[in-house]
Amino acid sequence: MSRRPPAGRVVTLYTAADCGLCLEAEEELRRLQQRIRFRLEIVDIASDESVLDRYRERVPVVAVDGREVAAAPLDLRRLRRALSS
């Protein structure tokens, strides 16, 4: 029997304009949403100076329920594990 994560799980993808890796990460997360329940929030790091300072050179970055679980380059297996637990 497979375990399903809580429906209230929030995944935040920190992105930047013109970031090809960010687009790939978003596509992968949207594919994962078809199998794993979570709410996806996309944050453009340019929208907030403190977020920009934190992630400027690291996007894409993925956080699950506020805990950073993946950064560029994304390890998709690790990301899937984090979302499935």
| Exposure letters 35-56 (e unless 16+ CB within 10 A, then b) | ebebeeeebbbeeeeeeeeebe
Q: What tens digit of pLDDT does each residue of 27-44 get? A: 989 998 998 889 999 999
DSSP 24-65: HHHHHHHHHHTTS--EEEEEEGGG-HHHHHHHTTT-SEEEET
Structural domain of 30: 10-84
> pTM here?
0.85
Q: Decide if pLDDT at 1 tops 50.
A: no
Residue at 53 is within a domain: yes
Higher model confidence: residue 23 or residue 85? 23
Question: Among all chains, which residue has been given the structure tokens 């995944």?
Answer: 11
**Mean pLDDT computed over 6-22:** 89
Residue 2 included in any domain: no
In a domain, 3, yes or no: no
CATH of the domain at 52: 3.40.30.10
Residue 5 lies in a domain: no
Q: Above 90 in pLDDT, residue 15?
A: yes
Total domains present in the chain: 1
Q: Does the residue 1 lie in any domain?
A: no
Query: Looking at residue 52, what is its pLDDT?
Result: 95
